[in-house]
Structure 1
Amino acid sequence: MYILGISAFYHDSAACLLKDGVIIAAAQEERFTRKKHDPGFPHKAVQYCIAEAGISAADVDKVVFYEKPFVKFERLLETYLAFAPKGFKSFRTSMPLWIKEKLFQKSMLTKELEATLGKDVKWRDRILFSEHHLSHAASAFYPSPFDSAAVLTLDGVGEWTTTSLAIGKGKDLKVLKELHFPHSLGLLYSAFTYYTGFKVNSGEYKVMGLAPYGEPVYADKIREHLIHVAEDGSFQLDMSYFDYATGLTMTNKKFDDLFGGPARTSETELTQREMDLAASVQKVTEDIVLEIARGIAEETGEKNLCLAGGVALNCVANGILLRENIFENIWIQPAAGDAGGALGAALAVWYQDYAKERTLSNDRDAMQGAYLGPVYEDAEIENELLACGAKFHKMDDDGLIDSVASALADEKAIGWMQGRMEFGPRALGGRSIIADPRSPVMQKQLNLKVKYRESFRPFAPSVLREHVNEWFEHDSDSPYMLLVADVQESKRRKMTEEEDALFGIEKLNVPRSSVPAITHVDYSARIQTVHEDTNPRYHAVISKFYDKTGCPLVVNTSFNVRGEPIICTPTDAFKCFMGTELDVLAVGNYFLVKDEQDPALKENYEERYELD
């Protein structure tokens, strides 16, 4: 049986295909359309999934959408009525689209499937609808390595639910508790994302990265005025400070007055105020996640916890939760946001509607390292590179690994495209930019000359699993870069009195360890453990770098520039390579050096990226 899961029409649309409950393929639409956070119907992602499985459209037994549009419409109507006449402008803006398209989503999905896969199949009879937070919960529990677990979902809002607790046992998954809109930890965090001048639904990770530069001086004010938290971690927001329920902005003048002024305008200079605001909402979020987790552990007695929803991508909070040992084991869905809802919706149908038994094969999860996207064979790679006008060297496996490891040791910035593309927001060694973590200038250079983004943004280490506890205060699997841990004391650099006295963004350029490129200003790092069985080539290149340098880790950041999705194809890789100051590109068995390329191509792609 083939089940196609789809998430769409909000942000990060995606498709996933199951064959008898096994994940065959999954990908976000943005990777194909090159439109970041593409919310449209995932035409290309659906086509990829069908092609990857080697089946025809008629072989798809069920198509499952990740949420229920009628319930969401009910929430919108009830919210507008509850706040009337406030919010009429927002109501007037959104209703025509709902009445025209979203309310009649089964008809729209049928039309989109016909356009994508053809009209030979009566798609309307094969469409099912899941529920938003059930899709999240299913994406967290069913691929996890646990037979029994508590499942916590935290995000902005689905239909009504913003937070849910479920219990998973075998094939069964039952939601026990929910918190409803407008009370949302995700929307509280998004309100501060908006207020500090970043884009909602994509800039939250910037707030998390900015937080260590500040102090949580506003945390008490947030707890006193904005959110009331009960002993079990459940919470309520004071909606008089927010405008997102009915307005066109996240916060209002009362919020501005509480925090001493209007929201920062995007792209203007970051001040200590924004850093302190980021630190404060991050601290409140961490505390509430811990309180919720303690309440769940006490109520359920479960030893395992699964997490999904956008807030589950807050890897700092996840790391603290792990270290608190509230649960013996934690597993987090790598595509924790709405893209993962496509996967969860399909899994929910397989295990609940069809009541299929669930078998755990080993201690590893069922996500296959999240390498679920397209892969390109050598012939395809060569054809695309030739079409781009690239000059390249084709190497055998050993030659490529040695050449890349040598370039890393020479402090070259390398575009690395190998194997299947990752599913979810993180690059995990399939579509990555990699570099030497020992370089004291690499973090700033990558941000400003390759990624073209804010200089304060930290980079993550990819570390061989067998060496992780030698370098970090952490000794468990973290294959999806969803846990933050501190660099080991033995690897830290002793600071001078002058360096210790630095404040705010001044901390940025001070090396703090023997691997400064991945050490954040609070000595933390967002760890990805690399496993030979899930990504042998990535494991091999880091191992070769270790042989050459004694360092078993590399800098890993996503292979893209600011404002664009992670690359998908060899053509995407070459364009990004030529449009940035990357030194080397490794695509499959093809090794490219920037200095050997046609200078005219560099000028063309630099113009494309509108670089200075």
Structure 2
Amino acid sequence: MFAAHAERYSRIKNDALLHPQLIREAMSFGAPDEIVWYERPALKKLRHLRAGQWGHATSASDLPRRYLRSAGLSRRTPVSFVGHHEAHAWAGIATSGFDEAAVIVADAIGEFDCFTVFGYSPESGLRLRHRRRYPHSLGLLYSAFTRRCGFKPNEDEYILMGMAAYGRPRHVDEILDTWITLDPPGYRLASNVHRGIGEWLPDARPEDLAASMQAVTERVLVEAAVWARKEIGAPHLILMGGVALNCVANSAIAREAGFSGLWIFPNPGDAGSSVGAAAARLRKPLRWEGPYLGTRIERDLDIPAVVTGLSTDGVAAVANGAAEFGPRALGNRSLLADPRPADMKDRVNSVKGREKFRPFAPVIREELLHEYFDVPVPATPYMQFTARCREPEAFPAVVHVDGTSRVQSVSRHDHPVLHELLRQWEAETGCPMLLNTSLNSRGEPLVNTWREAQAFGDREGVRVH
């Protein structure tokens, strides 16, 4: 019924604390019968002890019941707990529509689990088939390389993925010799990388380190998926956990693993485990109608005005309907632009204050998707896969240096307003797609309200619709 991110209310990027306004908005749908927490706190405390995180291990302020009481939530409402990777898995299962599936969960760390493979069917439920436990974490290794390349770990991993296209995987063998041993369906780390890898290979180009770590990640995930297809035998695959945001690896899995269907919940990281915790408690499918579950801006979008603005200015902002639940703007809190001008990428990067090498995503009507992009899946409504653009010279603002795009497809059913906007844009200009990026400035969360959208427009000189 409702799902939203605390950071959209506090305006603090990656805010981990429930915000009073978020709670009030959730409560407007009715008081809960039960609250479900997305991990088991006693196990997490044990892992803190093992990791030498004494402050976390001995602190009581983060204990769920105490924390929820401080937020005014659990005085008379029962609280239950589910495993961290169980919550991840169920967020995917309960929204996938699949009767049976293999499930791969890969993240930085849960209580102890860092990489798990499950089989699921209604008859047998969720059955663990493989696990790697702390400190053997593919997510932590990727974060360590994010830090090594000069970015913020646990936040800028997507930047490392984008940078990888500018490098060559020259250091794959050195990574395999030094840090990780492949052991399908998983791997083992040679040492704990929770605190990073220092200045390993100090003379290496960051771009080459990024390309090498990306190649290793893809290899681990593809080998795990191939193993799951063979050993579990389910026709479908569900990918979950923060690592499932790696759209380049997702595309490799889609091409190489041999599954007939692949589902990734559009918010596969820890924030999405709010949905997963409830689903794990219920152990049945949810009524999933899409990720537009957050704060509503009750305004009708004037589509002809947006098309006119894009035609004259090249850039327009849209803020209407329910906010997206997940890390990516999908048309309700979006900055749109004409993808054809050669300087448009630099122009939008300047508006958003981003690094110039980072790519932008195209958004296109689903019926045109395969005409313009070599996509390994039938549709990609949540920007979860990369695809080679068939006419890269025609749309330079949305094609990365390697010739690929992280494309979003839009069906008339899933988002009729955005679909109609794209139709009218093409009728006016002959261009079948738009650049779509999040409506926020660098370091800020996605805008949540109409007032915040207007403030962005005033600050950046962009008209908001």
TM-score by structure 2 length? 0.96
Residue 336 of structure 1 aligns to which amino acid in structure 2? Answer: P
In structure 2, what is the equivalent of residue 25 of structure 1?
A: 2
Once residues 140 and 523 of structure 1 are traced to their aligned partners in structure 2, the CA distance between those partners, rounded to angstroms, is 30
Contact 1:459 1:517 in 2 (8 A): yes
In structure 2, what is the equivalent of residue 106 of structure 1?
A: 65
Residue 100 of structure 1 aligns to which amino acid in structure 2? Answer: A
Residues 461 and 367 (structure 1), Cα distance of their counterparts in 2 relative to 1, 3 Å cut? farther
Deviation at residue 550 of structure 1 after TM alignment: 1.8
Contact 2:340 2:395 in 1 (8 A): yes
In structure 2, what is the equivalent of residue 197 of structure 1?
A: 150
1:250 aligns with 2:196: yes
Q: Give 3-state SS (helix, strand or coil) of 1:373's partner.
A: strand
Contact 1:308 1:333 in 2 (8 A): yes
Q: Structure 1, unaligned stretches of length 5 or more?
A: 1-23, 81-89, 262-271, 360-365, 379-395, 493-512, 587-612
| Cα deviations by residue, 1:329-354 (Å, 9 ceiling, x for unpaired) | 10001111110011000011112xxx
Contact 1:319 1:484 in 2 (8 A): yes
| Cα deviations by residue, 1:373-427 (Å, 9 ceiling, x for unpaired) | 111224xxxxxxxxxxxxxxxxx76xx2112112223342111112110001000
Residue 223 of structure 1 aligns to which amino acid in structure 2? Answer: L
Contact 1:371 1:420 in 2 (8 A): yes
Contact 2:248 2:385 in 1 (8 A): yes
In structure 2, what is the equivalent of residue 407 of structure 1?
A: 309
In structure 2, what is the equivalent of residue 375 of structure 1?
A: 296
Contact 2:9 2:19 in 1 (8 A): no
In structure 2, what is the equivalent of residue 122 of structure 1?
A: 76
Once residues 456 and 154 of structure 2 are traced to their aligned partners in structure 1, the CA distance between those partners, rounded to angstroms, is 24
In structure 2, what is the equivalent of residue 585 of structure 1?
A: 464
1:63 aligns with 2:35: yes
- Number of residues paired by the alignment? 463
In structure 2, what is the equivalent of residue 460 of structure 1?
A: 361
| Cα deviations by residue, 1:225-258 (Å, 9 ceiling, x for unpaired) | 110001x23111111xx552xxxx3224xxx3x4
Correspondent of 2:91 among 139, 145, 149? 139
Correspondent of 2:201 among 249, 259, 269? 259
Contact 2:365 2:422 in 1 (8 A): yes
Residue 259 of structure 1 aligns to which amino acid in structure 2? Answer: L
Contact 2:135 2:193 in 1 (8 A): no
Correspondences of 1:381-400 after superposition (within 5 Å): 400=302
Deviation at residue 325 of structure 1 after TM alignment: 4.6
Contact 2:388 2:405 in 1 (8 A): yes
Once residues 107 and 560 of structure 1 are traced to their aligned partners in structure 2, the CA distance between those partners, rounded to angstroms, is 34
Once residues 478 and 113 of structure 1 are traced to their aligned partners in structure 2, the CA distance between those partners, rounded to angstroms, is 39
Contact 1:307 1:331 in 2 (8 A): yes
Contact 1:369 1:479 in 2 (8 A): no
In structure 1, what is the equivalent of residue 228 of structure 2?
A: 296
Residues 134 and 43 (structure 1), Cα distance of their counterparts in 2 relative to 1, 3 Å cut? farther
Residues 43 and 150 (structure 1), Cα distance of their counterparts in 2 relative to 1, 3 Å cut? farther
Residues 367 and 409 (structure 1), Cα distance of their counterparts in 2 relative to 1, 3 Å cut? farther
Residue 35 of structure 2 aligns to which amino acid in structure 1? Answer: V
1:154 aligns with 2:131: no
Structure 1's consecutive aligned runs of 4 or more residues displaced over 6 angstroms after TM superposition are: none
Residues 43 and 427 (structure 1), Cα distance of their counterparts in 2 relative to 1, 3 Å cut? same
| Cα deviations by residue, 1:523-554 (Å, 9 ceiling, x for unpaired) | 10001111111211111111100111222211
Correspondences of 1:127-526 after superposition (within 5 Å): 127-170=79-122, 172-230=125-183, 232-239=184-191, 242-244=192-194, 249-252=195-198, 256=199, 258-260=200-202, 273-351=205-283, 358=285, 366-378=287-299, 400-448=302-350, 450-474=351-375, 476-488=378-390, 491-492=391-392, 513-526=393-406
Deviation at residue 78 of structure 1 after TM alignment: 2.7
In structure 2, what is the equivalent of residue 38 of structure 1?
A: 15
Q: Give 3-state SS (helix, strand or coil) of 1:368's partner.
A: coil
Q: Give 3-state SS (helix, strand or coil) of 1:375's partner.
A: strand
Contact 1:369 1:480 in 2 (8 A): no
Contact 1:415 1:559 in 2 (8 A): yes
Contact 2:297 2:319 in 1 (8 A): no
Contact 2:352 2:440 in 1 (8 A): yes
Residue 203 of structure 1 aligns to which amino acid in structure 2? Answer: D
Residue 202 of structure 2 aligns to which amino acid in structure 1? Answer: G
Q: Which has the larger radius of gyration?
A: 1
Deviation at residue 108 of structure 1 after TM alignment: 2.6
Q: Structure 2, unaligned stretches of length 5 or more?
A: none
Once residues 99 and 405 of structure 2 are traced to their aligned partners in structure 1, the CA distance between those partners, rounded to angstroms, is 30
Residue 11 of structure 2 aligns to which amino acid in structure 1? Answer: R
| Cα deviations by residue, 1:6-61 (Å, 9 ceiling, x for unpaired) | xxxxxxxxxxxxxxxxxx1111110111111001134332322221x2x2x3xx11
Contact 1:134 1:175 in 2 (8 A): no
Once residues 427 and 257 of structure 2 are traced to their aligned partners in structure 1, the CA distance between those partners, rounded to angstroms, is 35
Deviation at residue 320 of structure 1 after TM alignment: 1.4
Residue 400 of structure 2 aligns to which amino acid in structure 1? Answer: H
Residue 42 of structure 2 aligns to which amino acid in structure 1? Answer: F
Q: Give 3-state SS (helix, strand or coil) of 2:251's partner.
A: helix
Deviation at residue 282 of structure 1 after TM alignment: 0.6
Q: Give 3-state SS (helix, strand or coil) of 1:163's partner.
A: strand
Contact 2:298 2:320 in 1 (8 A): no
Q: Give 3-state SS (helix, strand or coil) of 2:159's partner.
A: helix
Q: Give 3-state SS (helix, strand or coil) of 2:323's partner.
A: coil
| Cα deviations by residue, 1:247-285 (Å, 9 ceiling, x for unpaired) | xx3224xxx3x4126xxxxxxxxxx81111111111111
- Percent of aligned pairs sharing the same letter: 36
Q: Give 3-state SS (helix, strand or coil) of 2:205's partner.
A: helix
